[in-house]
C-alpha cells in the first residue's frame, strides 16, 4: 500500500511540475531551489518538535527521517553557496 501511495504522489508531483512549467510559474533553477530550501528551513521548527515528541514516546523513525532531511538540505545549501 505504501509503495502504491508513494508512486501516486510522485506522479501527481510530476503532473503539478509540468503544469507549473507550462503556465510559466517556474523560474531559474537556482532561484526555485533557494525558495524550496527557505520553505523547508521555515518548516524545521515544527518538524523538530514532532521529532522530539516522537523520541520521548520511543519512536525513532520520525527523528531518523528528520535527520536525513536536514542532511540533504544542508548539502543543497552548500551547493547553492558554491554556485
Task: State pLDDT tens for residues 1-54.
Answer: 888 888 999 999 999 988 988 888 877 877 888 888 888 777 777 777 888 888
Q: Find, among 47, 51, 53, the residue nearest to 62 by Cα.
A: 51
Residue 34: is it exposed, middle or buried by C-beta count within 10 angstroms (0-12/13-18/19+)?
middle
Answer whether 77's CB lies under 8 Å from 37's CB.
yes
**C-alpha grid cell, residue 68:** 536525513
Among 33, 77, 56, 36, smallest CA distance to 48 is for 56
- pTM, full prediction: 0.41
Whole-angstrom distance, CA of residue 31 vs CA of residue 55:
35
Amino acid at each position: 500500500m505504501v509503495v502504491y501511495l508513494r508512486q501516486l504522489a510522485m506522479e501527481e508531483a510530476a503532473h503539478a511540475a509540468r503544469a507549473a512549467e507550462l503556465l510559466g510559474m517556474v523560474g531559474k533553477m537556482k532561484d526555485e531551489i533557494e525558495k524550496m530550501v527557505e520553505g523547508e528551513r521555515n518548516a524545521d521548527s515544527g518538524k523538530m518538535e514532532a521529532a522530539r515528541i516522537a523520541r520521548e514516546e520511543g519512536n525513532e523513525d520520525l527523528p531518523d527521517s528528520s535527520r536525513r532531511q536536514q542532511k540533504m538540505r544542508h548539502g543543497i545549501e552548500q551547493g547553492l553557496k558554491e554556485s
